[in-house]
Structure 1
Amino acid sequence: MTRMRISRLTLALLAACLGQILGGCVERRLTINTEPQGALVELNDEPIGPSPATVGFNWYGNYYVRISMDGYETLSTHRKLKRPEHDKFPWDFFAGVLSSKRIVDSYEWTFTLEPLERPDRDDLIKKAERVRNRLR
């Protein structure tokens, strides 16, 4: 009976310690702002919503960003999210596993959209005539 009681107590203490040790976690967030706000934001071909849009992520590296809004040029670009020194081994292990505190790494990208320029009707007709003449 005593041996079983010790085993249960040991197991309970071990579970409590593991819960404390494994309770730490790193949360990574990326916020994408646009000027003007309200543009549709896509990250790696996945829509994440109107700007400002915040998304959680697990991996650093290259991201494909596409931003569109009526009346503005669609912006398509790549951005690199570089891993900070404190998020490299072995520090990331201590922060993510051994720390009992939640760590939040936040990043912010801001993009300015250019107004869509409507072509002049006469210029458009002249360009079309030049193309037609070249094809003859």
Structure 2
Amino acid sequence: MEKSVTKKSLILFLLALILAGCVHRTMTIRSEPPGALIYLNNEEKGITPDTIPFTWYGDYEIVLRKEGYQVFRVIQPIKPPWYEVFPLDIFSELLLPVRLEDQHFLHYELKEAEPVDKDALLRRADELRQEFVVPEEE
């Protein structure tokens, strides 16, 4: 009986250690001007400035959209800190009994959209339409 209690205690202790360790990853995206819609890997995530949690390291496609500004698109690499590189990540993720914070701060400048010359745009559309007209079959 005493052995089973000790064994259960050891298992509970190990589980507590495993569940205690973790890394909380976030990326804070800011833009100038603020208020741009954020798309992260084709998913709408919020409006700048915003802090977004993430799970995996690697390349993320970030798209920012704001009326009156050009659409901003970038492939942003998010690199792991030293404690998240194999085999150290086993300890930081599972065995370290503290919560680690991995924060990435990203800042992007949006460019104002250039005014569109509607007449030139319509002329170009007509040219393209005439160039690609499919003849009707009889």
The normalised TM-score by structure 2 is 0.80
Is it true that 1:60 corresponds to 2:57 in the alignment?
A: yes
Is it true that 1:115 corresponds to 2:112 in the alignment?
A: yes
Alignment of 1:37-76 (within 5 A): 37-76=34-73
The whole-number CA distance in structure 1 between the counterparts of 2:118 and 2:87 is 62
The CA deviation at 1:121 is 6.0
Q: Secondary structure at the match of 2:97?
A: coil
Is it true that 1:80 corresponds to 2:77 in the alignment?
A: yes
Runs of 4+ in structure 1 over 4 Å off: none
Gap regions ≥5 residues in structure 2: 132-138
Aligned-residue RMSD, C-alpha: 2.3
Q: In the TM superposition, what whole-angstrom CA distance separates every residue of 1:45-65 from its partner, at most 9, and x where no partner exists? A: 011100112111111111111
The CA deviation at 1:120 is 4.7
Number of equivalenced pairs? 128
Q: In the TM superposition, what whole-angstrom CA distance separates every residue of 1:78-122 from its partner, at most 9, and x where no partner exists? A: 111122322101211111111000001000111111111213567
Gap regions ≥5 residues in structure 1: none
Q: In the TM superposition, what whole-angstrom CA distance separates every residue of 1:23-79 from its partner, at most 9, and x where no partner exists? A: 110111111111111110000001110011211111111111110011111112211
Aligned to 2:123: 128
Aligned AA for 1:111? Y
User: Percent identity between the aligned chains?
Assistant: 34
